[in-house]
Amino acid sequence: MAVQKGRDMLLKISDGATFVTVAGLRARTVSLNAKTVDVTDSGSGGWRELLAGAGVRSLSVSGSGVFRDAASDALMREAFFAQSQVDWQVIVPDFAQFEGPFLIATLEYAGQHDGEASFALTLASAGEVSFASL
């Protein structure tokens, strides 16, 4: 994978018919997680043993930025207040596209008196997330 521009990572929310890019994002982070199941016993020779394929997998996404697009901002607010599972796409150029249902775990708004209003959000996977290599 060659060096990529961070701005090329995309976060998109479904409006029910298509995916809308969440506009104004300045920073994005994708975290793939897998909880392990420890099956160590007295016969393990002093080494921890993990049960393959038994853990819970999850994906979390966080991002922050500025307001630019009323449509994507409205979709985020509606999904947060309804605490509804909404399909999202996360595109990491030359690596992968992740797609699946997420809940908005946090949605923050901030602003300085001499600066722009900004927001931050954290998404938590709420079901199976598909992975497609790019």
State the sign of the Cα–Cα–Cα–Cα dihedral 95, 97, 98, 103: positive
Q: What is the domain count for the chain?
A: 1
Give the closest residue to 117 by CA, choosing from 78, 66, 80: 66
Q: Hey, what amino acid is at 22? A: V
Q: Is the pTM of this model over 0.75?
A: yes
CA-derived radius of gyration, the chain: 18
CB count in 10 Å sphere of residue 44: 11
pLDDT score of 1: 60
**Considering the domain boundaries, does residue 128 fall inside one?**
yes
Range of the structural domain that residue 33 is part of: 6-133
Low-confidence ranges of the chain (pLDDT < 50): none
- The CATH number that applies at residue 17 is 2.30.110.20
**Considering the domain boundaries, does residue 1 fall inside one?**
no
